[in-house]
Each structure stands twice: as structure tokens, then as C-alpha cells.
Amino acid sequence: MVDAKPIGTPFVVGQHLSTEGKLFSDPTLFWSLARALQYLTITRPDLSFSVNSICYYMHAPTEDHFRALKHILRYVKGTVHHGLQLHRTSSRELLAYSDAD
């Protein structure tokens, strides 16, 4: 995926995953990548929906599921600098901003 072209969306719009299709040949690779993406959602809430959608099929991933997982990885490649910054501080305050519109 090092030479993959980055993309701007984490999930294909209108894509609906299902249990139908040819099973992926290396489920261990799928599980490993999906778990890594789950960990990444801690600081990247923009990935939560797409990663959750992929993880729903971890028991029997198909080739379509792996293509969707690669799509997420291409999005991550293009948005490396996005995410929440977590810093160690002595303060226990949480500061948040919201747009009321």
C-alpha cells in the first residue's frame, strides 16, 4: 500500500457490504489490518463508521471486504495529518468546541 494513490473518502458512498462473495484467501491479514484500524479510531473518529462496518465481517471476510479495507487504508494515507492530538498534561479538564448551527 506504500505506492497506493490516496483518496478523499474513508468509505465508498452507497457501498453496502454483505456476506455474499468469495472468501478472502488470507483472513489473518484481514484481521490484523482491521484491528490496527480499530486502534486508530481512538484518535481518528472520521474512521469509526467505516472501520466498524468492516469489523462486522471479521468472522468470514470476503474479497469485497478486503477491497473496502484497502479503501480505508488509502484514505488514511491521504489524511495522515488529520486526527485528535492527545498530550500528557497535569490538568484533567476537557475543552470542546461546537457549532450551534
pLDDT for the residue 101: 67
pLDDT for the residue 93: 76
Q: Which three cell numbers stand for residue 71?
A: 479503501
CA dihedral defined by 84, 88, 89, 95, rounded to 10 degrees?
Answer: 10
Q: Return d(Cα 38, Cα 29) in angstroms, integer.
A: 14
* Contact in structure between 64 and 21 (CB atoms under 8 Å): yes
> What confidence tens digit (pLDDT) does each residue in 32-87 have?
999 999 999 988 888 999 999 999 999 999 999 999 999 999 999 998 888 877 77
